Amino acid sequence: MRACGYGMKLLWQEDAIQRGICLGREGTWSKSGKPKSGKSKAKHQSPPPYFITITKEPIFLHTGYRHFGGQSDDDQDEEDGNEGGQQLYQKPPPALSHFSALPTDEAYLLDYFISGICPNCSLSPTHNPYLRYITPMTFVYPPLHNAVLSIAATERQLLNDRRFEKQAWWYKAQALKGLQATIASGSIGWPFIAAVLMLCFGDIADGCNDSWRTHLRGGLTLIDQINADCTESQMLRKFCLMYFVAHDIMGHTASSSSSSLESTSYTWLEDDSMEEIDPLMGCSRGLLDIINQISDISANVERIRSSRALSAEELQHVDQSRSRLELALRNLRQHVPSTASSLDLALVAEAKRTTALLYLYDRFSSFMLSSTDSESSDIAYRHLNRLIHSLVSQLESLPVTATLLWPLFVLGNVSPDNEQHRRFVLERLDNLIKTRNLGSVRLARRLVEKTYRTWDLQLDECGSKDGLNLRRANPSGSSSVKSLRGKCISLA
């Protein structure tokens, strides 16, 4: 049997004539069998290039009156707009047998952390510090146990499972009380550092409140004060240091203002390889160092330009710094560690290297383009477009995971004029929200939407859709990424 389908399709008469399509009973032949006068069958032509074939459900970017007057810097009413109308509830997995001594809710939450959260935190199935170090310590250090349960309850709540809403706050309060008691006793060790790390983890997942940076700074300060007296302690130190440093560096790529950024240098461990890809962060320490230099140098230049114009010598120095960083990124080598087996690890690291090149051009474009001629600007624009398309092709072949948040964020900000790129970025971010609904992802989506609105509302002033022209039209020198920094967001 065939299903009957009915639909209505409107067609302009002129377009129908041009394409040789008859309307109603109208035909190219009369009843007498002769052609109608004045009617000629037009050759079939493809639709004009400005017609876009929509094959997927459209994504709407809501722009209201408040977006025209600069009144939407916070957009608090939109932060939870995506998850409010969707039921993302997923039934928690059954409790494991060795959790039988725990209360039912604790068993569910701890098992959800182990089976539902931890596997998504590493790109390698054979290297996962959350399972190897964090989980065993939860059974011997109550503050860490409570911090982990708080994270699990928070992420269940973010997926509209309201059963654990009160537990999320209660477990977090218990974890903080336990840490205060540990400080009072003076017995600070690696379980304490792990609990601070997980509180930072939970703050990022919940909504990227400023407390995540407080916990991060505290963890970085304490790491050097605790001895690593065995191999396990040394591996735990390596994990904690990588977590804190990577989140601090990536947070600077979307910080609130250049004046609040302090130049920071990080010291890695002696046995750390700068070319080895970390399975948690999806890139090498060498790449993180270059990204940190990009943020530091550009932020320092922005501080100078906020009070005066750059001198010729300073512009030359900035150009030399940009060239040096670009050369370092192009020559950077990243290899998969022997202890981590993952087909996507090298691909993710390469995508992040391409993203770092885009980030370099975006951060330096606002104060470099004014000193170059139009021909050089056109060359730079074509080169930027090649990088953008290269990054899109790299991301298309990768699964949607939270480690790709930074590439999606940068792509959304450097290519606001391309409708296909807009759809690609928003669809990927929406898929991330549907999976875990992390606060960092929601905030990143809001900032990307602001970039698109800013672009749309300034088209009439610029008179062009050229991304470099948009930056020329902005005398303040703030690029599309930097002009939207209003909150501390973790993009690691």
Confidence of residue 405 (pLDDT cuts 50, 70, 90): very high
Q: Is 263 left (phi over 0), alpha (psi -120 to 50) or beta?
A: beta
Length of the chain: 492
Asked if 392 contacts 421 with a C-beta cutoff of 8 angstroms, the reply is yes
Quote the pLDDT of residue 51: 40
Quote the pLDDT of residue 435: 85
- Return the biggest CA–CA distance within the chain: 105
Confidence of residue 404 (pLDDT cuts 50, 70, 90): very high
Highest mean pLDDT among 9-13, 101-105, 106-110, 477-481: 106-110
The distance from CA 12 to its chain's CA centroid, rounded to whole angstroms, is 43
Report the C-alpha gap between 12 and 427 in whole angstroms.
Answer: 32
> Beta-carbon neighbour count of residue 82 at 10 Å?
18
Quote the pLDDT of residue 472: 31
Quote the pLDDT of residue 381: 77
Asked if 19 contacts 44 with a C-beta cutoff of 8 angstroms, the reply is yes
Confidence of residue 10 (pLDDT cuts 50, 70, 90): low
Look up residue 182 and give its amino acid. Answer: T
Tokens 């950024």 correspond to 261
Cα torsion 483, 484, 490, 492 to 10°: value is -60
Please say if the pLDDT value at position 417 is more than 60.
yes
Please say if the pLDDT value at position 401 is more than 60.
yes
* Section 387-413 average pLDDT: 93
DSSP H or E run through 312:
helix 312-331
* Section 85-94 average pLDDT: 42
* Section 434-453 average pLDDT: 90
Report the C-alpha gap between 198 and 194 in whole angstroms.
Answer: 6
Highest mean pLDDT among 9-13, 371-375, 483-487: 9-13
Confidence of residue 233 (pLDDT cuts 50, 70, 90): confident
The CA angle 121-125-130, to the nearest 5 degrees, is 40
Asked if 446 contacts 347 with a C-beta cutoff of 8 angstroms, the reply is no
CA-atom Rg of the chain in angstroms: 27
Asked if 135 contacts 118 with a C-beta cutoff of 8 angstroms, the reply is yes
Model pLDDT for residues 31-59, shown as the tens digit of each residue: 555 555 544 444 445 444 434 444 456 66
Let me know if 62 is exposed, middle or buried by CB neighbors in 10 A (0-12, 13-18, 19+): exposed
Quote the pLDDT of residue 186: 87
Please say if the pLDDT value at position 348 is more than 70.
yes
196-201 long-range contacts (CB < 8 A, ≥24 apart) are: 196/222, 197/134, 197/240, 197/243, 197/244, 198/134, 198/144, 198/147, 198/148, 198/151, 199/147, 199/172, 199/175, 200/243, 200/244, 200/247, 201/151
288 three-state secondary structure: helix
Look up residue 364 and give its amino acid. Answer: F
DSSP 8-state code for residue 284: E
Look up residue 105 and give its amino acid. Answer: D
Report the C-alpha gap between 444 and 488 in whole angstroms.
Answer: 11
Asked if 204 contacts 194 with a C-beta cutoff of 8 angstroms, the reply is no
DSSP 8-state code for residue 148: H
Confidence of residue 449 (pLDDT cuts 50, 70, 90): very high
Tokens found for residue 91: 């039934």
Model pLDDT for residues 174-218, shown as the tens digit of each residue: 999 999 999 999 888 999 999 999 999 999 998 877 789 899 999
Average pLDDT, the chain: 78
Asked if 300 contacts 363 with a C-beta cutoff of 8 angstroms, the reply is no
Tokens 């672009």 correspond to 455
Please say if the pLDDT value at position 474 is more than 70.
no
Asked if 239 contacts 133 with a C-beta cutoff of 8 angstroms, the reply is yes
Please say if the pLDDT value at position 396 is more than 60.
yes
Asked if 240 contacts 223 with a C-beta cutoff of 8 angstroms, the reply is yes
Tokens found for residue 293: 């230099």
Asked if 272 contacts 116 with a C-beta cutoff of 8 angstroms, the reply is no
Please say if the pLDDT value at position 173 is more than 70.
yes
Handedness of CA 271, 274, 277, 282 (dihedral sign): positive
**Whole-prediction pTM:** 0.77
64-72 long-range contacts (CB < 8 A, ≥24 apart) are: 67/453, 67/457, 68/457, 72/450, 72/453
Please say if the pLDDT value at position 476 is more than 60.
no
Please say if the pLDDT value at position 460 is more than 70.
no
* Section 359-382 average pLDDT: 72
Report the C-alpha gap between 231 and 200 in whole angstroms.
Answer: 25
Please say if the pLDDT value at position 454 is more than 70.
yes
Please say if the pLDDT value at position 74 is more than 60.
no
Quote the pLDDT of residue 83: 44
